[in-house]
Structure 1
Amino acid sequence: MWRLWAGAAAAVLGACSSLPPPGEAPRLDLPPTWRVEPGWREAAPADAADKGRWWQRFNDPTLDALIERALANSQSIAAANARLAQARALVDVNAAALWPQLSLSTRVARQRTSANRPLSNYASPNFSTVQNDYLASLGVSYEVDLGGRVASNLEGARASAEQSAADLANVRLLVTTDLASAYVNLRALDIEQAALQRSIALQRRALDFISTRHELGAVSGLEVAQQQALLDSTLTQVDVLYRQRTLFKHVIATLTGSAAPAFEIAPEVREIEPPAIPLGVPSDVLERRPDVAAAERAMAVANAQIGVARAAFFPTVTLGPSIGVDSRTLGSLLDAPSLLWSLGVGLTQPLFDAGRLRANADATRAAYEASVANYRRIVLVAMQEVEDGIVGVAALGRAQAQARTARASAARVLDMATARYEGGASTYLDVITAQQSLLAADRQAAQLRGQQLLASVFLVKALGGDWQQPVATASR
């Protein structure tokens, strides 16, 4: 019999040795530097760069207060915190398996035995008895981690807790960047609304002027109708911008944990300057991004599951000694004859499972390969987002500067067209065209400012959050 057991164990262990080892972290060929746009220079932030209050670099007290409310009240962050607490508790659960488990059991019973129970000895007939039973027993159970199952489970739990911590950091980053994006969109609409109101006031003054001239017979009714049509067209944009602003206001309300109907944020024309963001090599950026860290920890979790699957091929060995006392009377419970004990070793070795263990090992290997592919994808997306952010911030900065020039040119054209019309050198259509051009330039400048701020927030998100004061600072 022992030869049969030895042969079976050798066959199983031989099959286990042919399993692939747990995977190693994949390597990616990363470029040494980013493709920096003209007007930027590269910085080298420290490895322990601060990932905290990046929003304070926009120097907007309202934004600071809103983000503080979001960090305190966001249900997404609360859920991520709970998942982290759960993952850390599971680490303690798995760590407890490394230690012997002690259990104390007691029993106090009064029982009657059956006179018709099966005989234990044909020479000794059974009798019915009524007696007490007092039992106290201390048991010990310990699993010998022969195949590394317990250690692999603990390793996976620790990696899962680290992944949950990275997920929490990523949720905080997403909540703050989403709120900042909604806020800069809202402020850009405030600027655009202010430009629209200036244009409406200008067009109304022009309508009053041309109506007065029409009453004096100096101009035809066509020019009055043209100015009225322009004013009516401009007024239709008021409610369109109001709707857009309301949507962003509701987004901010939800992110800060407030009910949308009761939330208000006053309009304010405020020029927010995007911060100068240092650019580091890809390895620096990847160290700051919590989603990359979470994907790497997910790989570690999948890798640990390979170890658990491999351990299933090994025998399970459990030590289970126990000691106690048992007596029919309470007074003799602690007497020497009442002592009972046992020493035992349990061994369980799978012999035939129709390929279940092998299939499970293949499944864990496939899950690990999937986590590797996901990690590579997230790293490549991270690099793409940083490169997109660099190009976007630089290009929109130049476009915004050009928009200011275009706005000044449109204002000069309107002054010239008005002067020429009043002097009788041109038609009123030239004035209307100049008014439309000035409004378009004003709105374009506001929109480009909003897009530039959005690109800055996007780049902060791509970089993984805040940074400490760099050695060299990127200039716009």
Structure 2
Amino acid sequence: MMSIDMLKNNLCKALLCFLPIFSGCTVGPNYQKPNISMPIQYKEAQGWKIAQPQDQEQRGAWWEIYQDTTLNGLEQQVVLSNQNIAQYVARYEKAAALVSQSKASQLPSVNATGGATRSADGNASPSNVFSAKATLSWELDLWGKLKRTVAENKASAQASAADLANATLSAQTTLAQDYFALRVLDKRIALYDKTIETYSRYRKVLAAKYKEGVVAKSDLTQAEQSLYSAQASREDLVWQRAQYEHAIAMLIGKMPAEFNLPVSQAALPYIPEIPLTLPSRLLERRADIASAERSVAAANEEIGIAIAGYFPDISLTGSTGYSASSLSNLISAQNLLWSLGASATQSVFDFGANKAKVKQARATYDEAVAAYKQTVLEAMQGIEDDLAKSNSLTKEVSHTQQALASASETARIKRNQYNEGMIDYTDVASTEATRLSNEQSLLQLQSTQLQNSVALINALGGGWDKANLSQ
């Protein structure tokens, strides 16, 4: 007695005997990574530290260099709850499953069937037919089409993994920038609160003096104008803060109504020292560049798949089984049935359809190469922009701090002069407005500095490395 499993094993052994007869080759171009000439150093890198080997290790939680526990907690929620990232996770899982599917297509497929029928012909007595059958089919990959399909799907899956990493870094970067913008707004609002309190005292004093006829009405109206302008400016910052809070809620996958970030007056973090990796390292450190390069690799495999269309598809098929009128003696040598065969399918005349497919594949490859090179160029531009901006911001902050010191001293002198009756309130209001403007400008520049430092980390690839794509 032989089981179905034994039948399948015998069939596989029989078909394996054909393999030495079919020794194919892989048609189409072998993949070579596009060559890109990278500069030795960055144009705007004067004064920047070049990363040492230990600096180039994967940084992972790069946001921790800002030493803000609230930010650390928010960043951890991005990967878990951000819905954009969840979409990229699903796309990667789909791409990975396609790799497994294409690998399976290189192997034989075996199907087992069983059946029973009862029939009669005219006046003859009804008869029974019982059957058990195993069928095997195998497409021989003589021209490397299936092999290239696996390679194409694997490269696409790696590109998808890089896209996931890039989307994650983008969300983390946006969160950090929004968080720093919100924290600076906390300080700017607090500054307006302090200024409004000062203006309110001035208005109260001037209202009493105007009632007594000591000062002109213009002094009172000037004080009121300064107060109301400060209140209006404060409200402008309040709705800006609310929008950043809503944006952060979305980034961590929460409804705005479910999220609240309490006001904080903690000191702003210092701008961290960010060591620069060499330009050539960008090809390994940036997920978007890796994704573009993997897309080129996938497009190259597509050329080989299209070229394989010029050659016949050859398949081996075989079946074995039993057929009998009685179930009790179904599996016996006298009821054994088997067959082996091979088939070839070749397009004789397709009016140039396959030639057009090859041409399309080559054009897709050329497009992917151009996209890869453009991605590298944009990456270089982004880093140079961030470096130039950082250098100028450092100087701008220094000059604004000097301007603020001068404005504060001028405001102090004018207040003393006004208290001594030497000048009217218009001069005081003017110098106070200048001081407030300089202080607000300084805070805004500090916000821009923090956000630009995050942008530079993002441009350098965050903590990612192409080694993460190895499978």
TM-score w.r.t. length of structure 2: 0.89
Alignment of 1:310-389 (within 5 A): 310-389=307-386
One-letter amino acid of the structure 1 residue matched with residue 380 of structure 2: M
Partner of 1:297: 294
- 2:43 is the counterpart of 1:35: yes
**Number of corresponding residues:** 440
Q: 1:239 to 1:47 in 2, by over 3 A?
A: closer
Matched residues in 2 for 1:223 and 1:47: separation?
Answer: 60
| 8 Å Cα contact 1:88/1:161 also seen in 2 | yes
| Residue 39 to residue 335, structure 1, CA distance change in 2 (3 Å) | closer
State the alpha-carbon separation in 1 of the partners of residues 354 and 124 from structure 2.
Answer: 51
Q: 1:430 to 1:37 in 2, by over 3 A?
A: farther
Q: C-alpha distance in 2, partners of 1:418/1:353?
A: 92
2:99 paired with 1:102: no
The alpha carbon displacement at 1:80 in A equals 1.5
Query: Which residue of structure 1 aligns with residue 94 of structure 2?
Result: 86
Name the structure 2 match of 1:146.
142
C-alpha contact (below 8 Å) 1:190/1:269 kept by paired residues: yes
Contact 2:299 2:361 in 1 (8 A): yes
More relative contact order in 1 or in 2 (CA 8 Å, sep 6+)? 1
C-alpha spacing 1:449/1:48, structure 2 compared with 1 (3 Å): closer
Residues 282 and 66 (structure 1 numbering): CA distance in 2 closer, same or farther, change over 3 Å?
Answer: same
CA-to-partner distance for each residue in 1:66-116, whole Å, 9 max, x for gaps?
111122111122222222222111111111122222221111121235x6x
Q: C-alpha displacement at 1:331, in angstroms?
A: 2.4
User: Which amino acid in 1 is paired with 2:442?
Assistant: A
The worse-fitting range, judged by mean Cα deviation, of 77-86 and 127-136 is: 127-136
C-alpha distance in 2 between matches for 1:361 and 1:47: 45
Residue pair 1:162, 1:294 contacting (<8 A) in 2 also: yes
1:60 aligned to 55, 68, 77, which one? 68
Structure 1 position 336, deviation (Å) = 2.2
After TM superposition, the score normalised by the length of structure 1 is 0.88
Query: Partner amino acid for 2:100?
Result: D
SS in 1 for 2:328: helix
User: Which among 180, 192, 196 is matched to residue 196 of structure 1?
Assistant: 192
Q: Which moved more, 1:346-355 or 1:79-88?
A: 79-88
Distance in 1, matches of 2:307 and 2:464, equals: 43
> Aligned to 1:465, which of 418, 438, 462?
462
Kindly report which structure 2 residues correspond to 1:14-413, keeping only aligned pairs within 5 A, or say none: 21=29, 24-45=32-53, 49-113=57-121, 130-270=126-266, 271-413=268-410
Superposed displacement of residue 287, structure 1: 1.1
Q: Residue by residue, what CA displacement relative to the aligned partner does 1:227-270 show, whole Å, maximum 9, x if unpaired?
A: 11111111111221111111111100001111012221111123
Inter-CA distance 238–433: structure 2 relative to 1 (3 Å threshold): same
Shift of 1:130: 2.9
Asked whether 1:432 is paired with 2:440, we answer: no
Question: Residue in 2 aligned with 1:11?
Answer: none
Which residue type is aligned with residue 440 of structure 1?
A: S
Contact 1:139 1:322 in 2 (8 A): yes
Q: Specify the alignment match of 1:473 in structure 2.
A: none
SS at match of 1:273: coil
CA distance in 1 between partners of 2:224 and 2:393 (Å): 35
Tell me the distance in 2 between the aligned counterparts of 1:466 and 1:352: 54
Task: Find the counterpart in structure 2 of residue 418 from structure 1.
Answer: 415
> CA 1:38–1:269 in 2, change beyond 3 Å: closer, same or farther?
farther
Instruction: Give the secondary-structure state (helix, strand or coil) at the position aligned to 1:152.
Output: helix
Deviation of the 1:37 alpha carbon: 4.6
AA in 1 matched with 2:410: V
CA contact (8 A) 1:49 1:467 kept: no
Q: In the aligned structure 1, how far is the partner of 2:338 from the partner of 2:125?
A: 25
CA contact (8 A) 1:166 1:290 kept: yes
Q: Would you identify which runs of 4 or more consecutive aligned residues in structure 1 move more than 6 Å?
A: none
205-214 or 343-352: which moved more?
205-214
Unaligned runs of 5+ in 2: 1-24, 466-471
TM-superposed CA distance for 1:137, in Å, is: 1.2
* Counterpart for residue 13 of structure 2: none
Decide whether the 8 Å contact of 1:148 with 1:311 is kept in 2. yes
Q: Is the 8 A contact 2:202 2:223 kept in 1?
A: yes
Look up the SS of the partner of 2:350 in the other structure.
coil
RMSD: 2.1
Identity of aligned residues (%): 34
What letter matches 2:305 in structure 1? V
